[in-house]
């Protein structure tokens, strides 16, 4: 490894070092504040170093990783989102007194490490290691220190289904390796291009990889775990699963498909289009039936990942840009939405504030959080002046540009269905406060919790009303990548 | 820059009103009044001659970079058509604030914020000339209007509000797809990725493509207008909305649909639109008769007025697709007159409901005895609505019929029957509610007649409708250059018209 490669890889190395430092710190002194603050500081440091290493890229770091503009963008998104989740977790866990809270941050850091290296992976080995580091840490986080039985149940569910999906993924990788004798994305691309386009081993292998990834991205029909786990996990962890893990997995599969030329395969494209359409329609239709806000957001995230596949299928420079912008919009919006759920919840009470009834009259009791939540929901629904609106426009543009008739049609239909349930929550918030809650004043939200939401809100509105800087950044990073 | 202020002032005023609402319930009202008055002043200073130059006739324009990477700019242009519609919008918004003074007592800050934001969106729609910017404002109107209906409406408000949103959003996403296809076709032809309306005018495409794209735009505007069979959201939304919401919906939001047809559908796809004209005119005529028929059958006074809107908007559709000077001038006057007269009728129904707590005409009768002022104004606007000469609606309907007569005699004849039907439901309204024997009123024993605030509003509206009826020339002068430009760009190409002529032969 050259010095330049070390420099380029520094943010990831640093994240590893922070993880170890936090682990040692827990051994020395157990203090929730200390550990949380050092985690936040460490993640902040990684976020700051990432752009500083930009001049060193693009560069291959060992055969396993590459650091280029796309990595800078997606890993930056992962690290930034993880930072916000860490701050929200601090606000969330601060009120809880049950059990040790310090190891939570350790798991958060290892999960982030796994997620951060995924966009940089160009090899099955790093792909799988990153994914497993992420998934196994998540397993701990989902079931973490909850007095509730359903969190444990959710953890087990994630373990079993996650294990099965990893097995699919591994089997798929093995088939491709058996066929082509290489695990590097680029070489797979070269060999596929030279060989038989309808090779059975490879086609089955790719289908199995898609199954595994479909589980992680919770696409229909691999979505069954999503609502249960979103509901049962502590709200900040839900935010992590919904945002960080999705961005990371999406980035790596994007790279795999582009480098290994999966886009060229017509049957694969048809399959992906079918999955996209099913996710958009299924996610939105099932969300209609929910009375629990976390489950509702879970189904909506299924639909959003379906929308994202439209840009994925469109490929080309417009498609890549659209996917990057949409993921950024999705990250800001979902972090905001789940963050507000987290701030409204008291972890000791046995359940999060996740029933629609909990949101009745929120505009009166907590005007700032309610107003922010309203704008986050409007962004999810794709209405102006939010990032979600520009994002959806970008997706439709990429789909129309690539002539994807059915996926775009499903996107339109899905968006219209989606309006119904988002607006339902909005109306609940604007209703009068229920009688039994008038007497009890709401618990105070820590200032940094509000500050995080305020930052997300400013991003949501500023980049929604004036998206040019975000698009310029995407062109500078993702757009400048030579695949 | 005044165009930007025209949009920014109500937008920021809305935020201010919302914040102020937490301090004192009356502050948002005064803020909204003040903000809209300033906006009105700005709009009034813009009245003046248009600067004609070839394909454009702008009174004022503004072009700022917005999303240069995607060929989107913040391009606002004002011509006479936009100006009169903006004036109508601001005046009706002002009136909405005034008449909500006693009706809205709950969440006053949020109410006025939403009202101002609807106004912002509508003004933006009338000004935007970049297709993306237009779509942005088009969507921006939606959510505040939803809130106005869903939070301050009547019994079935949630159902009505969600129906309104789903109809509008579904159709407008179709329009977005059509916009994008148009932009990509233009890019393939010229290499420029742009959403600029003037650049996209005259984009060459196959007749089939043009037809489908035209349909994509048409559906979005047809839902807003509304055109039968896309009208079913309207009676629900109008009936369930609070009075101010109904006034804005009928007076202003419906006009955005007509404006879209005038500005976008016909000029962007002239040949397709002219080929489609018989169908559209037939839909217009169906709307006129069907709306009138349904209005005739209503017991709910507000629903009656709502269905009369469907009928009046049928004339607008007929006039737009007749596409000649007379018809287009008629369309403009019809839009203004409908905004005034229907707005006034909704205000009166709202006032009536506030006093006797019902909209059911079976429970009314003989109101003239107890509320002479309200009933008097009610009769004035009912006969305006039926198209009595001397009042604004007559000018609009007459010019539209005159214009469409040159294009299609049968449609004109059938549409004229609609006038008779209009007389029937309007007079029935007067007869059942205001005349006849006084029926015992539920609620208060002696309802109070209109107060000074309502009288002032009604006075302004009566003057406006009479002015428009007796001396519409200033409006024609103001809109003529803009309409001429539109008419020019919307004229079918020579080859298409000869083809049509041959087909006719």
pLDDT digits over B181-211, tens only? 999 999 999 988 999 998 998 888 999 999 9
Q: Is the pLDDT of residue B129 over 70?
A: yes
Interchain proximity B170–A384, CB inside 8 Å: no
Interchain proximity A423–B150, CB inside 8 Å: yes
CA–CA dist A189, A71 (Å, integer) = 19
Interchain proximity A400–B147, CB inside 8 Å: no
Is A179:A243 a contact under the CB 8 Å cutoff? no
Per-residue pLDDT, averaged over B481-491, amounts to 87
Per-residue pLDDT, averaged over A29-48, amounts to 93
Interchain proximity A383–B143, CB inside 8 Å: yes
CA–CA dist A97, A443 (Å, integer) = 16
Q: Is the peptide bond before A299 cis (omega within 30 degrees of 0)?
A: no
Q: Which helix (H) or strand (E) holds B63?
A: strand B60-67
Compute the radius of gyration of chain B from its Cα atoms.
22
Out of A238-247, A299-308, B360-369, pick the least confident: B360-369
Q: Is the peptide bond before A58 cis (omega within 30 degrees of 0)?
A: yes
pTM score, whole prediction: 0.93
A-proximal residues of B, 128-167, CB under 8 Å: 132, 135-136, 139-140, 142-143, 146-147, 150-151, 158, 161-162, 165-166
pLDDT at A99 (0 to 100): 73
Q: What is the DSSP string of B403-461?
A: HHHHH-HHHHHHHHHHHHHHHHHHHHHHHHHTSSSPPPPSS-SS-----HHHHHHHHHH
Q: And the tokens for A404?
A: 């994807």
pLDDT at B104 (0 to 100): 86
Residue with the two structure tokens 């002022």: B373
pLDDT at A440 (0 to 100): 65
Is A244:A267 a contact under the CB 8 Å cutoff? no
* Kind of pairing between the strands at B56-58 and A65-67: unpaired
pLDDT digits over B272-291, tens only? 999 999 999 999 999 999 99
CA–CA dist A227, A212 (Å, integer) = 18
**A443 vs A235, residue with greater confidence:** A235
pLDDT at B89 (0 to 100): 96
Q: Is the pLDDT of residue A208 over 90?
A: yes
Out of A41-55, A139-153, B92-106, pick the least confident: A139-153
Give the C-alpha distances (Å, rounded to integers) separating B470 from A293, B268, B329, B396, B466: 58, 35, 15, 12, 6
Is B153:B242 a contact under the CB 8 Å cutoff? yes
| Of the candidates A253, A244, A252, the residue with the CA atom closest to the CA atom of residue A79 | A244
Q: Is the pLDDT of residue A347 over 70?
A: no
A-proximal residues of B, 76-135, CB under 8 Å: 107, 110, 132, 135
Q: 3-class SS at B129?
A: coil
Interchain proximity B158–A427, CB inside 8 Å: yes
Q: Is the pLDDT of residue B444 over 60?
A: no
Which of A91-95, A448-452, B485-489 has maximum average pLDDT? A448-452
Residue with the two structure tokens 């790093």: A126
B-chain CB neighbours of A420 within 8 Å are: 162, 166
Give the list of residues 6+ apart from residue B251 with CB closer than 8 angstroms, or none.
Answer: B88, B89, B92, B338, B339, B340, B342, B343
CA–CA dist A363, A377 (Å, integer) = 14
CA–CA dist B435, B444 (Å, integer) = 20
A-chain CB neighbours of B166 within 8 Å are: 416, 419-420
Out of B196-200, B354-358, B477-481, pick the least confident: B354-358
CA–CA dist A29, A102 (Å, integer) = 10
pLDDT at B54 (0 to 100): 64
CA–CA dist A134, A165 (Å, integer) = 14
Residue A292 has phi, psi (to 5 degrees) of -110, 125
CA distance B174 to chain A (A): 7
pLDDT at A247 (0 to 100): 96
Out of A64-73, A165-174, A190-199, A208-217, pick the least confident: A190-199
Domain range list for chain A: 3-477
A-chain CB neighbours of B65 within 8 Å are: 468
CA distance A329 to chain B (A): 16
* Kind of pairing between the strands at B60-67 and B72-78: antiparallel
pLDDT at B500 (0 to 100): 54
Give the C-alpha distances (Å, rounded to integers) separating B87 from B45, B92, B342: 11, 8, 16
Give the C-alpha distances (Å, rounded to integers) separating A28 from A31, A43, A110, A467, B418: 10, 21, 19, 46, 88
pLDDT digits over A371-404, tens only? 999 999 999 999 988 999 999 999 999 999 999 9
Beta strand extents in B107-152 (DSSP E only): none
Q: Is the pLDDT of residue A416 over 60?
A: yes
A vs B: CB pairs below 8 A: 76
Interchain proximity B69–A396, CB inside 8 Å: no
CA–CA dist A124, A134 (Å, integer) = 15
B-chain CB neighbours of A471 within 8 Å are: 67, 69-70
Give the list of residues 6+ apart from residue A438 with CB closer than 8 angstroms, or none.
Answer: none
Q: Which residues of A touch B (CB under 8 A)?
A: 363, 367, 378, 383-385, 389, 393, 396-397, 400-401, 408, 412-413, 415-416, 419-420, 423, 426-427, 430, 466-468, 471-472, 475
Band of residue B53 on the pLDDT scale cut at 50, 70, 90: low
Band of residue B42 on the pLDDT scale cut at 50, 70, 90: very high
Is B225:B310 a contact under the CB 8 Å cutoff? no
Backbone dihedral region of B205: left (phi > 0), alpha (psi from -120 to 50 degrees) or beta? beta
Q: Which helix (H) or strand (E) holds B2?
A: helix B2-21
Mean pLDDT of chain B: 90
Give the C-alpha distances (Å, rounded to integers) separating B421 from A446, B69, B308, B408, B427: 65, 54, 10, 21, 10
pLDDT digits over A240-297, tens only? 999 999 999 999 999 999 888 766 678 888 999 999 999 999 999 999 999 999 999 9
Band of residue A93 on the pLDDT scale cut at 50, 70, 90: confident
Name which of A397, A429, A473 to mutate to probe chain B: the one with the most chain B Cβ atoms within 10 A of its Cβ: A397
Band of residue A82 on the pLDDT scale cut at 50, 70, 90: very high
Per-residue pLDDT, averaged over A54-82, amounts to 92
Per-residue pLDDT, averaged over A12-22, amounts to 96
Mean pLDDT of chain A: 90
Q: Is the pLDDT of residue A145 over 70?
A: no
Interchain proximity A467–B67, CB inside 8 Å: yes
pLDDT digits over B385-402, tens only? 988 899 999 999 999 999
pLDDT at B61 (0 to 100): 87
């Amino acid at each position: 490894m050259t010095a330049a490669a070390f420099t380029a890889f520094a943010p990831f190395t640093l994240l590893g070092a922070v993880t170890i430092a936090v682990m040692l710190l827990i051994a020395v002194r157990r203090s929730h504040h200390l550990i949380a603050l050092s985690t936040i500081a460490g993640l902040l440091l990684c976020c700051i170093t990432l752009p500083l290493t930009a001049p060193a890229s693009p560069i291959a770091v060992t055969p396993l990783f590459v650091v280029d503009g796309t990595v800078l963008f997606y890993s930056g998104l992962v690290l930034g989102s993880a930072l916000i989740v860490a701050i929200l977790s601090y606000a969330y866990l601060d009120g809880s007194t049950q059990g040790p809270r310090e190891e939570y941050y350790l798991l958060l850091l290892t999960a982030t490490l796994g997620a951060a290296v995924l966009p940089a992976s160009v090899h099955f080995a790093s792909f799988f290691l990153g994914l497993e580091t992420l998934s196994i840490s998540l397993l701990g986080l989902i079931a973490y220190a909850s007095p509730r039985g359903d969190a444990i149940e959710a953890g087990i569910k994630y373990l079993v289904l996650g294990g099965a999906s990893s097995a699919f993924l591994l089997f798929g990788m093995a088939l491709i390796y058996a066929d082509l004798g290489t695990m590097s994305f680029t070489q797979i691309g070269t060999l596929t291009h030279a060989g038989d386009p309808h090779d059975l081993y490879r086609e089955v292998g790719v289908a199995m990889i898609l199954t595994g990834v479909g589980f992680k991205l919770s696409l229909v029909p691999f979505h069954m775990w999503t609502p249960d786990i979103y509901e049962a996990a502590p709200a900040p962890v839900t935010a992590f699963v919904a945002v960080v893990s999705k961005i990371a997995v999406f980035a790596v599969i994007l790279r795999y498909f582009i480098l290994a030329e999966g886009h060229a395969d017509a049957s694969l494209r048809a399959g992906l289009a079918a999955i996209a359409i099913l996710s958009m329609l299924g996610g939105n239709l099932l969300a209609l039936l929910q009375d629990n806000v976390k489950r509702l957001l879970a189904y909506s995230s299924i639909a959003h990942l379906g929308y994202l596949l439209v840009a994925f299928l469109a490929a080309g420079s417009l498609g890549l840009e659209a996917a990057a912008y949409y993921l950024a919009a999705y990250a800001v919006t979902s972090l905001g939405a789940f963050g507000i759920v987290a701030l409204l919840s008291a972890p000791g009470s046995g359940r999060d504030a996740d029933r629609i009834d909990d949101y009745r009259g929120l505009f009166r009791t907590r005007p700032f959080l309610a107003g922010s939540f309203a704008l986050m929901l409007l962004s999810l629904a794709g209405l102006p002046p939010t990032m979600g609106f520009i994002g959806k426009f970008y997706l439709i543009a990429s789909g129309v540009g690539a002539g994807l008739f059915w996926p775009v049609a499903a996107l339109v239909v899905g968006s219209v269905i989606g309006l119904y349930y988002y607006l339902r929550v909005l109306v609940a918030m604007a209703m009068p406060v229920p009688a039994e809650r008038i007497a009890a004043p709401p618990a105070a939200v820590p200032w940094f919790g509000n500050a995080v939401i305020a930052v997300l809100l400013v991003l949501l509105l500023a980049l929604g009303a004036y998206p040019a800087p975000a698009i310029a950044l995407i062109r500078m990073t993702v757009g400048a990548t030579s695949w | 820059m005044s165009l930007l202020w025209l949009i920014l002032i109500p937008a920021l005023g809305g935020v201010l009103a919302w914040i102020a609402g937490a301090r004192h319930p009356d502050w948002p009202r005064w803020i909204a009044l003040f903000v809209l008055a300033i906006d009105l002043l700005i709009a009034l200073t813009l009245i003046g001659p248009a600067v004609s130059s070839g394909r454009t006739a702008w009174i004022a324009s503004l072009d700022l970079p917005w999303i240069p990477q995607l060929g989107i700019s913040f391009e606002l242009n004002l011509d006479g058509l936009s100006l009169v519609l903006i004036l109508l919008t601001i005046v009706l918004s002002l009136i909405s604030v005034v008449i909500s003074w006693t009706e809205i007592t709950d969440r006053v800050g949020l109410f006025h914020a939403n009202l101002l934001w609807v106004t912002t969106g509508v003004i933006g729609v009338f000004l935007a000339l970049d297709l993306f910017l237009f779509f942005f404002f088009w969507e921006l109107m939606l959510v505040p209007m939803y809130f106005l209906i869903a939070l301050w409406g009547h019994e079935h408000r949630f159902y009505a509000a969600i129906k309104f949103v789903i109809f509008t959003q579904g159709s407008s996403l179709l329009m977005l797809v059509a916009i994008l296809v148009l932009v990509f076709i233009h890019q393939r032809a010229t290499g420029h990725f742009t959403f600029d309306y003037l650049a996209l005018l005259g984009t060459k495409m196959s007749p089939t493509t043009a037809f489908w794209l035209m349909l994509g735009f048409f559906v979005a505007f047809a839902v807003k207008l509304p055109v039968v069979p896309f009208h079913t959201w309207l009676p629900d939304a109008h009936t369930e909305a609070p009075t101010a919401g109904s006034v804005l919906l009928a007076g202003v939001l419906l006009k955005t649909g007509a404006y879209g047809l005038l500005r976008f559908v016909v000029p962007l796809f002239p040949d397709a639109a002219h080929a489609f004209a018989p169908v559209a005119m037939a839909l217009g005529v169906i709307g006129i008769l069907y709306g009138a028929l349904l209005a005739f059958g209503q017991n709910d006074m507000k629903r009656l007025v709502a269905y009369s809107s469907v009928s009046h908007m049928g004339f607008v559709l007929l006039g737009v697709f007749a596409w000649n000077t007379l018809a287009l001038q008629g369309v403009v006057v019809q839009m203004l007159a409908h905004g005034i007269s229907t707005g006034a009728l909704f205000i009166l129904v709202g006032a009536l409901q506030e006093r006797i707590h019902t909209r059911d005409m079976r429970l009314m009768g003989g109101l003239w005895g107890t509320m002479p002022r309200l009933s008097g104004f009610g009769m004035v606007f009912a006969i305006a609505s039926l198209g009595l000469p001397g009042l604004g609606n007559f000018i609009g309907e007459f010019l539209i019929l005159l214009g469409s007569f040159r294009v299609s005699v049968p449609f004109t004849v059938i549409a004229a029957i609609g006038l008779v039907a209009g007389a029937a439901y309007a007079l029935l309204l007067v007869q059942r509610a205001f005349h006849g024997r006084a029926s015992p009123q539920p609620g208060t024993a002696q309802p109070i007649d209109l107060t000074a605030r309502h009288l002032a509003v009604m006075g302004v509206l009566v003057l406006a409708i009479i002015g428009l009826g007796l001396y519409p020339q200033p409006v024609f002068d103001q809109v003529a250059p803009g309409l001429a430009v539109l008419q020019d760009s919307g004229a079918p190409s020579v080859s298409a018209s000869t083809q049509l002529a041959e087909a006719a032969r």
